[in-house]
Structure formats: C-alpha cells, structure tokens
C-alpha cells in the first residue's frame, strides 16, 4: 500500500525522506499495489512505472485521479483497477474494499477521491487509512470487526493528529 520508494518529494518540494527506502524496485515483488491517492508520496512517479515494467502481471488499484497519472507514466489501462468508496475488489484469496478518506492538504493539493483500504483474507481484516483528516464517515468503520488498523498520523497536511485517530 502506497509504496513511496524514490526520493521524488525531495526533488519536487525539498522535503527529504525521513528514512531510507526499505526496498528497491528490483527487490519488490508485489502481485498488486494499492495507491490511496494521487500525491507523489503515495503514488510514486519513479517507482510505479518502474514496477509496472519490472512486474508485468502486477495490478494497480487506485482512485480515478491517480489512475490518470499512472496511465500517463505508461502503466497499461488493463492493469489498473479504479477504486471508489464502497467498491470491493477480489484479489485471489483476499479482497480490498475502498473506504472514505478526506485528504485536503491545501490549495492546489486536493485529493478529492482519496481513499482508505481494508484488506480481508479469511478472518483477518486490516484497515489502512491512507492520508485523511478526521471525518465522521470514519465512524462507520467502528462497526467492522477489524484485526488491525494502521493510521497516517502527523496532524498536518491533511492528516489526523493522535487524538483524532483515537476517535
């Protein structure tokens, strides 16, 4: 989910990586990749096209605005699954469900169709928020029987702070 493995954000915005990329394009062997929105630290314009070339069977799941970018980088339309809220996509012995996110990082950086993702495999379900501010739509997720949740928490740039995540 959201593989940011280059340092493109430093080149574009001057914000260096907080830590080295944990894996290289050559080491990455995913069958599918989920990108929660179109920002470069979630839809890496260096890594995504390189991965698409290196792994010709890899499938990319993402919101429609992200899909447009990936297509311009040469990722074939046939390997991109556009995801919208509520959509469930079966993937072999698991599924991915797109859930709401509200990521308004500032003027010119809106991500109107940002999403979170719930991965389900058997009795295990893992929720990843992606970048999101607190949103009342997230309350509906409390009813789900989740095994684990991962949150993007920094309290800036369209993300929740720790208190909001706890809610």
Q: What is the pLDDT of residues 41-69, one digit of tens each?
A: 999 999 999 999 999 999 999 999 999 99
Contact status, residue 4 vs residue 32, Cβ threshold 8 Å: no
Please give the mean pLDDT across all residues of the chain: 91
Q: What is the pLDDT of residue 146?
A: 92
Residue 128 vs residues 74, 97, 114, 165: alpha-carbon distances, Å: 27, 10, 12, 12
Which pair of structure tokens corresponds to residue 40?
């470069």
- Element holding 54 (H helix, E strand): helix 47-54
Counted residue by residue, the chain has a size of 167
Q: What is the pLDDT of residue 159?
A: 87
CA distance 83 to 120: 16
- pTM value is 0.91
Instruction: Find residue 162's DSSP bridge partners.
Output: none
- Element holding 143 (H helix, E strand): none
């Amino acid at each position: 989910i959201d593989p940011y493995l280059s340092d493109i954000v430093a080149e574009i915005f001057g914000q260096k990586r907080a830590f080295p990329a944990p894996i290289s394009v050559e080491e990455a062997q995913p069958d599918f990749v989920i990108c929660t929105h179109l920002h470069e630290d979630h839809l890496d314009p260096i890594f995504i096209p390189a991965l698409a070339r290196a792994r010709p069977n890899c499938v990319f799941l993402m919101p429609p605005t992200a899909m447009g970018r990936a297509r311009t980088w040469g990722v074939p339309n046939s390997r991109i699954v556009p995801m919208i809220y509520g959509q469930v996509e079966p993937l072999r012995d698991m599924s991915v469900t797109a859930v709401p996110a509200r990521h308004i990082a500032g003027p010119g950086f809106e991500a109107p169709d940002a999403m979170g993702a719930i991965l389900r495999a058997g009795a295990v379900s893992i929720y990843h928020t992606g970048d999101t501010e607190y949103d009342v739509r997230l309350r509906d997720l409390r009813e789900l029987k989740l095994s684990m949740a991962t949150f993007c928490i920094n309290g800036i740039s369209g993300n929740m702070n720790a208190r909001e995540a706890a809610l």
